[in-house]
Amino acid sequence: MRKAMVLFACLFVATAWASESGGHGEGNEPSVPDYILHHVADTNDFELEVPLSHPIHLGAIPPIRIGSCAPVMTDHGLQAPTGWPGLMAGCLDLSITKHTVMMWLAALLLIGTILIWSNRDKTKMVPRGTGANLIEMLVLFIRDEMAIKNIGKEDGPRYVPYLLTAFFFILFMNLLGLVPWMATATGNLAVTAGLALCTFFVTQAAGIRSAGLGGYLKHLTGGVHWTLWIIMVPVEILGLISKPFALTMRLFANMLAGHIVLFFLIGLIFILGHPAVAAVSVPFAFAIYLLELFVAFVQAYVFTLLSALFIGMAVATGHHHDDHGHADDHGHGHSELGPSHDHGKAHA
């Protein structure tokens, strides 16, 4: 632990030093906020900041566009339309960006780590080794404390694979963002929105599975007369969207804010313009860095917990409908409980 702390401290000082030495040679160096915002933003350019040298640009990857996408005249000249009008014109920008690369890296690391750690000696009952025990602890925690406590004993184990995937993927992305030269993919609104969208679809599927399509659609109408559906259906749909929206903003804001605080503490050295400031700001930044390490786990935990809670509420809504005469669907759920539960155990 002490070695790791010394290593992280060295990396911070090296990064700060690199930023300082990189900035001296240029006449029009960017201001600290510009520099920070550039670093937390998603770009097509993957920069490697090497201590004592200028940043290495891995080169921009040209945008991939689908459809005709005719350029239009803007204030900055002839450009491809962006945003919703761009999408309508067929300009779906599927460029590979810094955060996309980080997501791939997180996914690869996740698959590798889990494969290695879960590959235990099947002939022995008790798994051995730090990795296997760590994975077992986390998987059991998510199954017993999140899935079963929020969704229920019967339906909970069915959603454990999704919850595990979400937890570990977010955790790996959060932790990769804390490695020097890497970027935080979860500090990107598009990434967190995508993750929340996955939870949204799983939640709706859980609701449909539990209540049946008829019960689910009936719930969407808010139980009012059909002439009032034109108002009530949008209201209910907005209500459904509000939960994944909260998930999106929470993860995004927490990850982004932590990194900005971290950057600004280091940036104080350059704002105040004296190397002695480093004596204060670097230890502070290091403390925030340790806090961020904790936040990486907490945010992955919170996202998974809330996903489980939302799935549980959707399942409960279905059970409520069952009370009014959809007992067949309920019975169907019972019959599939056994294998799903066993699968969770085998995986653990």
Partner 1 sequence: MVEQEPPKKVASDGSELGSMARHMRAAEPYVSAVWKLVGGAVVGVLGGYWLDKKLGTAPWLLLGLSLLGICVGFYGFLREMARLGKRK
The least CB distance from residue 69 to partner 1, in Å, is 26
The least CB distance from residue 197 to partner 1, in Å, is 21
* C-beta closer to partner 1: residue 150 or 254: 150
The least CB distance from residue 345 to partner 1, in Å, is 16
Contacts to partner 1 by CB under 8 A = 145, 148-154, 222-224, 228, 231-232, 234-236, 238-239, 242, 309, 312-313, 316-317, 319, 334
The least CB distance from residue 75 to partner 1, in Å, is 24
The least CB distance from residue 88 to partner 1, in Å, is 16
Residue 168, C-beta contacts closer than 8 angstroms, at least 6 positions apart: 110, 114, 138, 300
Say how far apart CA 320 and CA 207 lie, in whole Å. Answer: 11
Local structure of residue 120 (DSSP, 8 states)? -
* C-beta closer to partner 1: residue 239 or 283: 239
* C-beta closer to partner 1: residue 149 or 347: 149
Residue environment code for 189-199, b if the CB has 16+ CB neighbours within 10 A, otherwise e: eebbbebbebb
As given in the structure block, the two tokens for residue 231 are: 């108002």
The least CB distance from residue 93 to partner 1, in Å, is 27
Collapsing DSSP to helix, strand or coil, 260 comes out as helix
* C-beta closer to partner 1: residue 55 or 333: 333
CB 35 within 8 A of CB 267: yes
Q: Which residue has the tokens 């590798």?
A: 112
Residue environment code for 268-303, b if the CB has 16+ CB neighbours within 10 A, otherwise e: bbbeeeeeebbeebbeebbebbeebeebbeebbbbb
* C-beta closer to partner 1: residue 108 or 235: 235
* C-beta closer to partner 1: residue 108 or 224: 224
Q: Which element (helix H / strand E) includes 96?
A: none
Rounded to a whole number of angstroms, the CA Rg of the chain reads 24
